[in-house]
Amino acid sequence: MLKIAGHVLIVDDNTSVLNSLELFLKYQFERISTLRNPNLLPGFLGKESPDIILLDMNFAAGINTGNEGIFWLNNILKADPDAVVIMITAYGDIELAIKAIKEGATDFILKPWDNNKLLATLQSAMKLRQSKTQVRYLQLKEKQLKEDISKGFSGIIGDSPVMTELFKTIQKVAKTDASVLLTGENGTGKELVAREIHRLSDRHKNDFISVDLGALPDTLIESELFGHVKGAFTDAREDRMGRFESANGGTLFLDEIGNLGYTLQPKLLTAIEQRKITPLGSNRQHDVNIRIICATNKDMNSLVKQKLFREDLFYRINTIQIEIPPLRYRGDDILLLAEHYLAEFAARYGRKGIKIPNKSAEKLKAYSWPGNVRELRHTIEKAVILTDSANLVPEDFSFDADNLNLDIALPGVKLEEVEKKAIALSLKNHSWNITEVARELGIGRQTLYRKIAKYKI
């Protein structure tokens, strides 16, 4: 006969009662625990979360008021309002048992008990416990999701060659459950790519949960990822579901994974490998079924070599790596995005009909956008708010001249000036790695050396 998956705690000062109940129930339930002294309850419940508690009404010899049972019942329910407590009472104390039910007990059994009736009572109690646990789970998940739904996300915009290749990769990867590492500069839209992978996956009907590890202190990351129970630490005033559990059945996006402290990396690795998490302050594991997508703007290979990031964790999150192209490589996508954000902010600030004329469009394309899509969005919003004109003129956009887009020659700018700036910026971006610079610019190393000398860079 299969045992019922559950943990029953028996609290009674009568050794014969404890032994009899334990002997019968150990063949019915997966786990049985016993306590003779109710004073041990707080310590026990601080470590364990039994599904059912069988609690005697009286403990002190010669006292049959039931006050002790009521006292410990109230303490149990204070610690866990969802606890399922069944009182153990003598036949003559039924009124006390009814009083206990009014105080929050689930049911009571009479001494001496009938094994069949006892088992039926416990089976019903177990179903109640499962229902309470499920309701609590849904409440915590709803709360977590409400915290996450604080901003809207638009789809990925772009039809440049580099974005066309990106879309093809996303479609291939989305249909698998492989872990994905998204790399690229800040502001390139790594979270949008992660959401698109989720949207196209078989998990799309379940939740996409995002965690910005770069915005969290190390002391809070473990609780944020794995959750905690009430009292796990000083400010843990209530149970909190972690992001792993919130994402169950769906996708968990860990942004800025390169910022994760080394001491926390083994715990993350274990959770990913075993698909199990244990909330802080609890010893009960929770199974999770999630897909992991991570993102970073750091050189992860360098972090691994410097022993700042575990190699085994890096390989675990890096089944597929996708590089998100910077905005300066996306050509006319700059204008597509600019028009998209213009429509968004024009509607928001009551500036419908505002346009971006050709000269302004040329200036937008001539800028290298070091902050990428995020910077472009902020730039358009700022211009819409501050301009008094029906058109966004070039003067509405103030850029650093050092960030001229080197692929575009503005009217009046000599080709040699553009070439010099292109070489200088590429050298800066690649820390004077001549091989990488030559590859990026499409010229030979000797040609690159001659041009560096020619332009006195």
- pLDDT tens figures, 317-333: 999 999 999 999 999 99
In which residue ranges of the chain is CATH 3.40.50.300 found?
161-323
Fold of 327-403: Helicase, Ruva Protein; domain 3 (1.10.8)
Higher pLDDT, 151 or 326: 326
* Among the ranges given (83-97, 118-132, 395-409), the one the predictor scored with the smallest mean pLDDT: 395-409
Cβ–Cβ contacts within 10 Å for residue 136, how many? Answer: 15
Contact partners, residue 218, CB within 8 Å, separation at least 6? 261, 263, 264
Per residue in 4-48, pLDDT (tens digit) is: 889 999 999 899 999 999 999 999 999 999 999 999 999 898 888
Average pLDDT over residues 104-125: 92
What percent of the chain stands above pLDDT 70?
A: 91
Residue with tokens 């050092």: 402
Mean pLDDT of 192-219: 92
Q: What would the pLDDT profile of 362-417 be if each residue is shown by its tens digit?
A: 999 989 999 999 999 999 999 999 888 889 999 898 776 555 554 444 444 455 77
The DSSP letter of residue 151 is S
Which H helix or E strand runs over 228? strand 227-228
Whole-angstrom Cα distance, residue 130 to residue 355? 59
CA distance 3 to 371: 59
β-strands 251-255, 240-241 pairing: unpaired
- What is the C-alpha to C-alpha distance for residues 221 and 276, in angstroms, rounded to an integer? 17
Cite the residue boundaries of each domain of the chain with CATH code 3.40.50.2300.
4-136
**At residue 123, does pLDDT exceed 60?**
yes
Partners of 409 in beta bridges: none
70: Cβ–Cβ under 8 A, 6 or more apart, which residues?
57, 99, 100, 103
C-alpha of 443 from chain center: 44
Q: What is this structure's pTM?
A: 0.59
Task: Tell me if 71 sits within 8 A of 59, measured CB to CB.
Answer: no
Q: Where in the chain is the domain with CATH 1.10.10?
A: 415-455
Residue 210 φ/ψ, nearest 5 degrees: -115, 135
Distance CA 456, CA 195 (A): 46
Q: What is the CATH number of domain 415-455?
A: 1.10.10
User: How sure is the predictor about 1, in pLDDT bands with cuts at 50, 70 and 90?
Assistant: low
Q: Strands, E, within 124-163: which ranges? A: none
Q: Which pLDDT value is given to residue 90?
A: 78
Q: CB of 258 within 8 A of CB of 274?
A: no
Rg of the chain over all Cα atoms, to the nearest angstrom:
32
C-alpha dihedral (110, 112, 114, 120), degrees to nearest 10: 30
End-to-end C-alpha distance for the chain, whole angstroms: 82
Task: For residue 203, give the nearest of 194, 191, 214 by alpha carbon.
Answer: 194
Cβ atoms of 365 and 328 closer than 8 Å: no
Task: pLDDT band for 180, please (50, 70, 90 cuts).
Answer: very high
CATH architecture of 4-136: 3-Layer(aba) Sandwich (3.40)
Q: Which residues contact 251 (CB under 8 A, 6 or more apart)?
A: 194, 197, 198, 201, 203, 206, 207, 208, 209, 290, 291, 292, 293
Structure confidence by residue, pLDDT tens digits, 59-77: 865 566 678 889 999 999 9
Fold classification of 161-323 is: Rossmann fold (3.40.50)
